[in-house]
Structure 1
C-alpha cells in the first residue's frame, strides 16, 4: 500500500490522493470532523463519456474518523486505511499548509498473507 497526500480545496474541503485516485471530504464534513469529532464520509466522483454524453456519479468510498486517542484521523477507504496526525489535518484544512502526507496502516489481521498480529494467529501461520 502506497502513502497518499491530503490537500485543501478552495472551498475548504479536503482532497485525498491515494493510489492514483482522487477522493473528497466536503467542507461541512471537515468542520464536523475537526470540531465535533464526527465521522465524515469520503466521496469519489466518476465521470463517464459515452457517445458524446457526459454522465457522472458521486459514490461514498469510505469514511474518516478521529481515532480514540484524539490525536490522529484514520481514513478508511475500499483500497485500505491511512492515518494522518490531527494537527496536520487541521493545518491543511485552515490553509496553513499546502498538503500533508497520509501514512498507510497495516491491517490488524492480515490473514490473506498468512500473517497476524495476535499470538494465536501467528502460531497458526507458522505451523
Structure 2
C-alpha cells in the first residue's frame, strides 16, 4: 500500500502537508485554534520565495471529533486525531494521510 501524503512537524510548531509534488502548511496559531477550539483553519501553500500568502484549502475536525480532515487543491484527506496531535506536539516525526473517499450517492 502506498502512502498518499504525509503530515510532518516543522520548526516553530508549523505542520507541513506533502501530497505528491504539492507542499502546504498550517501555521502554529491556526493549529492551536483547530485543536483547542475546533475552528476551521486555513491551509497555506508552502512557497518559500512567495511574497503573498495563498490559502489553498482548510483543515477541520470531522463530525465525531476523532479525526482531522484536510481539504486542499491536491485532494481531500483524513488523519486520525491521535496521530495529528502527536505530530503537532513533536512526539512523532510524521503521520500518513489517507484519501477521504466521498460517500456513494
- Over the aligned positions, Cα root-mean-square deviation in angstroms equals 1.6
Helix, strand or coil at the partner of 2:88: helix
Structure 1 position 56, deviation (Å)? 3.7
Q: What TM-score do the two structures reach when normalised by structure 1? A: 0.75
Give me the whole-angstrom Cα distance separating, in 1, the residues matched to 2:37 and 2:75.
25
**1:104 matches 2:105:** no
User: Within the alignment, does 1:31 sit opposite 2:55 as a pair?
Assistant: no
The aligned residue for residue 9 of structure 2 is 8
Contact 1:82 1:102 in 2 (8 A): yes
Counterparts in 2 of 1:39 and 1:55: CA distance versus 1, 3 Å: closer
Higher RCO, 1 or 2 (CA under 8 Å, sep at least 6)?
A: 2
Shift of 1:45: 3.5
Shift of residue 70, structure 1, vs aligned partner: 0.2
* Deviation (angstroms), 1:82: 0.2
Tell me how far 1:107 sits from its aligned partner: 2.6
Correspondence list, 1:71-86, <5 A = 71-86=66-81
Aligned to 2:41: 40
1:78-98 CA-partner distances (Å, limit 9, x unpaired): 221000001101000101000
Which structure 2 segments of 5+ residues have no match?
A: none
Aligned counterpart for 1:95 among listed residues 90, 93, 98 = 90
Gapped regions of structure 1 (runs ≥ 5): 48-53, 109-116, 119-127
4+ runs deviating over 2 angstroms: 54-58
